Structure 1
Amino acid sequence: MNLTLQLAELITGSQPSALAREKARAGVLDFVSVALPIVQGQIVDTPLSGLRKVYTARDSQTLALLLGYAGHALDFDDFHPDFRGHPSTVILPALFALARDNPQLGGEAFLDAYIIGVETAGRLGLAAGSYHYKAGYHSTVTLGTIAAAAAAARLVNVSVDQTANILGIAATRASGLRAQFGSAIKPLHAGFAAESAVIATKLALAGVEGQPAAVLEAFLISSGGGQQQPEKLVAHWAEPWRIVSPGLEFKPYPTCAGTHSAADAAFVLREEWLQTSGKPLAELADDLDSIDVSFPPGGDIAASVRCPHNGIEARFSLEYVIAAVLLRNRLSLADFGEGPLDAEIFALAKKVQRSPDATAPPDEIDPTQRFHQVTLSRKNGEMLVCRITRKQSVAKGVDQKLKLQGCLSQASQQEWSEIETLSQLTSPAALTELAKRLTSF
């Protein structure tokens, strides 16, 4: 049996657990929190107006594209370590767009399709191997297109053969490069993936047939650089569900996930400097001779921007993120929006130097073992050092209610509660209402 058909059988035949559905509900709430303020215009996003001049239709594939962009526009959406990308912002836009046209769909069927999509995303990440991302591919759109297609196929309840066809069509459309990080095209990657998933599904439902075999195998070979492990795509499926373990990681900060443990170290060092120096915060920049950040070789592959030109690029800058924490004690949406950079933060960021730790195993071997060690070198010769691992940062968790309120700051307490309730997808009308709001634009 070919790999594409094996995966199709798992997609159509497996049954998610109650725990998986619970985790999926949390994922829906996180996605709604970061996407809805862009959809409703509560947070200004100039590129979206440009997209709407180009994408003017109201069909499901167009809405999936716009919602995918909106979900990733703030770079505040969830992350999955096996996938090495952002699964929900490609999977959920495709599902919500399809659900909008199919009001008879129930909440549990929707959640199950979402769970299947995350499972496929995680499995694809493992199967693609370490070369895929390192070579310059953006997993969120390359692997995400196929994962979103798997979820869409499950949602519309097609046959195994039709599911295999949907996967194959999606795989041949999957493309996206990390070179676009720091621009509006990065979040548009998520939109491209969601759009392709819907198109692949519609083509299959219309009877358009692609090759029935060897398509996913060809995709993994062509983008795996010899590091691909195709068997991991289907082996031990749902043991456990990828949405349960390692699970979705919700972001505490609106910056690249590759900066978060460095930020956490900077928060610790800021307090230590204030206590040990006895100086006011206004003197911090002058007191420091240099700032060093070390990490496993290749650990800064996503946070690659050293000298950002705007707030969007700053999301991917270790230098700017560390400096922002030290000076402002926060990483807020306002700090990483479309506006100009903070001159004081930018000046301090110039003192940050990257020093990959050659004694640590390369990041590509196991990104979950990543750490950031930040060292503040004071002009009096004293050094303050803090090392935070990625696992420590993730273990802190995120208060989803506070995140919702922070993203939708203009909403009322009643509106926040309403969104939380709708995101549970427990009532018959909840899915229809949520899909309507997310595709209102």
Structure 2
Amino acid sequence: MSTKESIQGLTKRICEKIIAFQYDDFSDELKKRSRQIFADGIAVAVAGSFQEAPPKIMAENAREMGGKEQASVIGLGFKTSMTQASMINGGSMHVLDYEPMWNPPNHQLSTCLPAILAVAENRGRSGKEVLTGLVKGVEMMCCMRAASNQTNLNNVPFHPPGMVGPLGATVGAAHVMGLDIDKLRYALGIVGSRCGSLMANTGTHTKCLHCGQSSYVGLDSALLAEKGFTGNTDIFEAANGYVVSFFGIDDFNEEVLLSYGEKSRIVDPGYEVKPYPSNFATHAPINAALELREKIDSISNIERIVMVGVNLPYVNRPFPKTGLDGKFSVQYTAVRALIDGKVTLDSFTDEARFAPEVDMLLNKLEFTMDPNIPAEIGKANMYMTIHLKDGNALSTVGYAPRNNNFGKEPLPWEEHLAKLRSCFSTRLNPVKTERAIDLCASIDSLRTEEFKELMDIIRC
């Protein structure tokens, strides 16, 4: 682990790696996977802008402030300032909890992609620069999360997107803006004082703001640095700086951070495209429930449901207060899967949450958190037994992802298309949906005018 001596010069060393890491260094596999996550993030943002209330509220707030028309607000039909657009779009991209999942846990797209989109649209950049900025920003967050050794979500003092997301947004925006190493060090110094978000807001509107705010402050910090605004150029190693304040030197591993760009973490350990629009810890119980649902004639035959799973209190929500709150309830998501035989965007409306059959099954469900199942990606198994009224019992073990092999087998493009079309079709007609998918799938070959066309389409 790190010492005060070993982290000296850390900010300068990581900034040198960031500046040096360029599109020509990307493997074909990295480019392929990066296009996939880009497409997923854009599609999810389009759906999120329409499906949930927070983006609309943030958009109303921005309209009242009268921001200069610099960048598109996805799905809501107007332009505003770059920073306001990045915050709203970050909220839209995260509010459904449908964007890809990462290991260690974080949300790498909604925290930095909106900042990159906003500045690229405003300054007329190509799709290649957009994708390069995205890869660089995601790599920054992945390496910082891995270096922190905070893999167990029960031991994370801040919600990770608000803790490392601003760094990724700064790095991604700085690339698109063409900041040199000195300006990048200032930008990271500035944004280091703007990090942090509270886990207590999980299940409320504010959770999506953690991601939107990351894009906002990351872009704003890069813009300020470009104009000569200063921050501590040694922000990571400073005595009262970022590493000490968020992680502590003894638990931090600077060598992991300095592996930046050597093996892209988009490829290894990879990511999972979410099949369900809910917190990843709920996917194991959903998978278990869907498997057993096929063996049950009717939910009216269920006498009792017993679940034993991950020791993660923030998803232990026996009776969620709203549909949005239900995205973070292992109980509700399991029940919804049993009722419908699927979990979709419409599973988390207030109407769906308070349907009579939901509380009927929630009252029959017993959930125990097993302290021997740590709150870590790849270990969040869910043991489920359904006792039927005829005396029979059905049992299984659910995993997340279903194959229990996180990040190794990205969702095939043909299967991913169903999710993309479902999300885009919430706001776009079939012709524009297919055009948006085609543009996203070839993002790094888009000329400036083609990237502008994509932004025009998804602005709706």
TM-score by length of 1: 0.89
State the one-letter code of the partner of 1:378. Answer: L
* Letter aligned with residue 188 of structure 1: L
Runs of 4+ in 1 over 6 A off after TM superposition: none
The 5 A counterparts of 1:11-410 are 11-15=18-22, 16-17=25-26, 18-39=28-49, 43-56=50-63, 57=67, 58-82=80-104, 84-103=105-124, 105-130=125-150, 133=153, 134-215=155-236, 218-224=241-247, 228-272=251-295, 274=296, 280-281=297-298, 284-285=299-300, 287-296=301-310, 298=311, 300-339=312-351, 341=353, 342-358=355-371, 360=372, 362-363=374-375, 366-391=376-401, 392=403, 397=411, 399-410=415-426
For residues 282-338 of structure 1, what are the alpha-carbon distances to aligned partners after superposition, in whole Å with 9 as ceiling and x for unaligned? xx34x3332122224x3x345243311221011111111111111110111111135
Aligned residue type for 1:262: P
After superposition, the C-alpha distances for 1:394-422 in whole angstroms (9 at most, x for unaligned) are: 55837221112212335343222201121
Q: CA deviation at 1:361?
A: 5.1
Q: Secondary structure at the match of 1:90?
A: coil
- For residues 200 and 423 of structure 2, what CA distance do their matches in structure 1 show? 27
2:75 corresponds in structure 1 to none
Give RMSD over aligned pairs.
2.3
C-alpha change, 1:351 and 1:136, in structure 2 (3 Å) is farther
Match of 1:277 in 2: none
Once the two structures are TM-superposed, the CA of residue 33 in structure 1 deviates from its matched residue by: 1.0
- State the shift of 1:383 in Å: 2.6
> For this pair of structures, how many residues does the alignment match?
421
Residues 329 and 170 (structure 1 numbering): CA distance in 2 closer, same or farther, change over 3 Å? same
Tell me if the contact between 1:141 and 1:175 (Cα under 8 Å) persists in the aligned partners: yes
Name the counterpart of 2:4: none
Give the % identical residues. Answer: 22
CA distance in 2, matches of 1:433, 1:418: 10
Q: Within 1, Cα distance between the matches of 2:187 and 2:374? A: 36
**Given residue 115 of structure 1, which amino acid in structure 2 is its aligned partner?**
V
Distance 1:136 1:349, change over 3 A: farther
Letter in 2 for 1:369: K
C-alpha distance in 1, partners of 2:51/2:290? 28
Indicate if the aligned counterparts of 2:192 and 2:235 stay in contact, CA closer than 8 A.
Answer: no
Q: Which runs of 5+ in 2 are unaligned?
A: 1-7, 68-79
Provide structure 1 residue ranges, at least 5 long, that are not aligned to the other structure.
275-279
For 2:323, the aligned partner's letter is G
- Residue 251 (structure 1) shift: 0.8
How many Å separate the matches in 1 of 2:132 and 2:337? 39
CA distance in 1 between counterparts of 2:192 and 2:453 reads 31
Partners in 2 of 1:98 and 1:216 — Cα distance? 29
Distance 2:47 2:397 in 1: 34
- Structure 1: which amino acid aligns with 2:304? S
- State TM-score, norm by structure 2: 0.85
Closer, same or farther: CA 55–338 of 1 in aligned 2, 3 Å? farther
Distance 1:23 1:131, change over 3 A: closer
Q: Give the AA of the match of 1:247.
A: G
Q: CA deviation at 1:87?
A: 0.6
Q: Secondary structure at the match of 2:386?
A: strand
